[in-house]
Structure 1
């Protein structure tokens, strides 16, 4: 009996031992699978391309001063300017020395030019001097002084006067003639377009301008009109440059009111006026 129970005990112990070993193997296999999966996921994550960092320029945010300057520039660009001006008044006047004279950049030169123009106006307008007489008397005086100085220099032991040689360059004359020709042809072309009745607004503006000139011409002569324009060019631009913002503000209000009145006039009057034939379009 003892001999029979011993092999049974040995045979019974072996299945338990095998089942225990299988459970341990299964647990180890499961843990290893997790480890393998985690290691594979880590390797996959390592192999994936990582997003590149944005460049330093993109990370750099605009400073407050730059943003304020940009906003100020945009606001200034949207400000109403008289006559649709987009450039400074100095450039609008053509730049260079003439604009410097009109804007009194050099007060001595501007005052001298304005004083000379005033003296000429007083001489011809108030004193009744004539242009041809003035030119002839001026030439007589200048030639007489130079002639006497040149002949008397040997007696008074002084150097004769150095009279510069004046030569008008051909290129200057040609450029002036070409510019004048271009402006005259453009004026004739504009007058032709107005006469054809294709632009009623421009027609009314030109008629108003000619009427204003006729009124000024009846009040004063040509020399006085030129002097008035000269004085206006030496006073209005510098005052406008000094009080630019205030003048533009009032100008914007006035322009809005003019547009309103023109819209009413266009609806009641201009829209009923027959127009000329439309301009042919080139295809």
Structure 2
């Protein structure tokens, strides 16, 4: 059985999700909490927030480049912000995987999967009418950022509870099948 760290990829992302790299995990959580605060609580518009953040970053970068040498008696390093090519390839690969799955679902080869996907999207649409999109995104990010670490810490207790829940759901389904599904008349083919 592989560990949770290996299941999460075993690299820096797994370290962040399991809070082994506390500084990065805290910074990411703080950043998303700040973003959620401005967009949801303060009702700041996304485009305005993005532009104001870029203006502030550019101004601080200019001040650093012009005055760091005078104040700290050293030459500032050149600012070079680029995404690694591997990151871009990963995101494009993820989008392609999603589009491939979407085309497989809509092809009609597996009607059960098609209806499960429709039901899931309908449930998410219904939830979306009652919950703000920013709150939902923040809740998902908060869950992804904290639940793996909590699971790693309390793995045996969580597994015990989940096993009880699964057996309870199986008992409910068996009861549903006996009380309702088995009483539905079936059309039998005649030869």
Normalized against structure 2, the TM-score is what? 0.75
Alignment RMSD: 3.3
Matched, 1:225 2:136: yes
Q: CA deviation at 1:157?
A: 9.6
Gaps of 5+ in 2: none
Give distance in 1, aligned partners of 2:134 and 2:11. Answer: 26
Work out the CA distance in 2 between the residues paired with 1:236 and 1:134. Answer: 29
Corresponding residue SS for 2:56: helix
Partner of residue 9 from structure 2, selected from 80, 94, 104: 94
Greater Cα shift, 226-235 or 254-263: 254-263
Structure of greater Rg: 1
Q: How far, CA to CA, are the matches of 1:262 and 1:204 in structure 2?
A: 19
Paired with 1:152 and 1:254, the residues of 2 have a C-alpha distance of 61
Q: Does 1:261 align with 2:176?
A: no
Q: Which residue of 2 aligns with 1:114?
A: 29
Partner of 1:247: 158
| Correspondences of 1:68-83 after superposition (within 5 Å) | none
The equivalent residue for 1:277 is none
* 1:174/1:154 CA distance change after superposition, 3 Å: closer
In structure 2, C-alpha distance between the alignment counterparts of 1:210 and 1:135, rounded to whole Å: 29
Q: 1:187 to 1:92 in 2, by over 3 A?
A: farther
Task: Count the aligned residue pairs.
Answer: 185
Gaps of 5+ in 1: 1-85, 275-283
TM-score calculated relative to the size of structure 1: 0.54
| CA gap 1:161/1:135 in 2 versus in 1, 3 angstroms | farther
